[in-house]
Amino acid sequence: MVTDILGQRIGMPICISPTALHNLAHPEAEIATCKAAAEMNTILIMSAASSKSIEDIAALRQTSIKWQLVYTWRDRGVTKDMIRRAEKAGFKAIVLSVDLPVLGVKRRLLKDGRQTILRTLQQSRNLYKYIGKDLQIGEGFPAELMTSSAGSTWEDITWIKTMTTLPVILKGIVTVEDAVLAAEHNVQGIIVSNHGGRQLDGVPATIDVLSDIVDAVGDKLEVYVDGGIRTGTDVLKALALGARAVFIGRPVLYGLACDGEEGVKSVLQILRDELRRAMALTGCSRISDISRDLLSQRDRWSKL
């Protein structure tokens, strides 16, 4: 079940995607999530808009692996400062979300939740130090904080790579073309992700694009996937298609809302146990035994 991610050993290939504002789910917020990740020996990606700050998490002195999510904010000083804070706190990688040049606002959110989200964002201990100074929270927040037009550019990736010695991962890749460009820009990993379907309706499901991306760049960088992973067999299929690990978003929030740290731990345990069972039933004793042969041979048959 153990897996090496960017040269570091973790307990299972099931990790935690960045999701904002964990205090909407539980008062202990990312503290609870981080403790659960540490107990399960897996990776937590902290959202830039986390309720608890990077420093709150560092103060826990958990030995687990933390990665920090950043955006290319319009004020690049914020991006740089957050990277420096993550480095100082001993985080192990920088993850850049590349699929949020503007906020893919949902109508329901506009109607019901916008004010709650805005109020809660103002309490983000992670963004707090920039708000009112470098960042303004207003009607367009957080979209207005992103670059004005197309979000991150490939020059931004080069800039981030020169600024930090930590591995850089791009989150939000769904095409082979972008995956190849990511490899050409020497990032260490990509997360095949469509932001959990929350940005743009009609984008491909990540599981459908995963194998083409792995075939194109899997020998140059590590490929991870998130989106809709809900069972151990979902994990098995993603690994069989070539993902080095999967990340989960909503299930962690559900666990957190139900029972804080214990709830998140339960979610991770359930997925780990289901993966273990699925591996046993498919004759895989190690993660490295999981290969594409496990999946349907339909395409091959149709060519006969």
Ligand X SMILES: Cc1cc2nc3c(=O)[nH]c(=O)nc-3n(C[C@H](O)[C@H](O)[C@H](O)COP(=O)(O)O)c2cc1C
Positions touching ligand X (CB under 6 A) are 17-20, 47, 49, 69, 97, 171, 193, 195-196, 198, 226-229, 248-250, 253
Residue 196 Cβ, how far from ligand X at the closest point, in Å?
3
DSSP string, 159-207: HHHHH-SS-EEEEEE-SHHHHHHHHHTT-SEEEE--GGGTS-TTPPPHH
Question: 53 or 193: whose CB is closer to ligand X?
Answer: 193
Question: 85 or 195: whose CB is closer to ligand X?
Answer: 195
- Catalytically active residues are 195
Residue 298 Cβ, how far from ligand X at the closest point, in Å?
26
21/163 Cα distance (integer angstroms): 27
Question: 74 or 250: whose CB is closer to ligand X?
Answer: 250
Residue 285 Cβ, how far from ligand X at the closest point, in Å?
27
Closest residue to ligand X in the complex (CB): 249
Question: 11 or 197: whose CB is closer to ligand X?
Answer: 197
Work out the number of other CB atoms within 10 angstroms of the CB of residue 303.
6
Question: 141 or 284: whose CB is closer to ligand X?
Answer: 141
208 token code pair? 């459908």
Residue 228 Cβ, how far from ligand X at the closest point, in Å?
5
Residue 82 Cβ, how far from ligand X at the closest point, in Å?
13
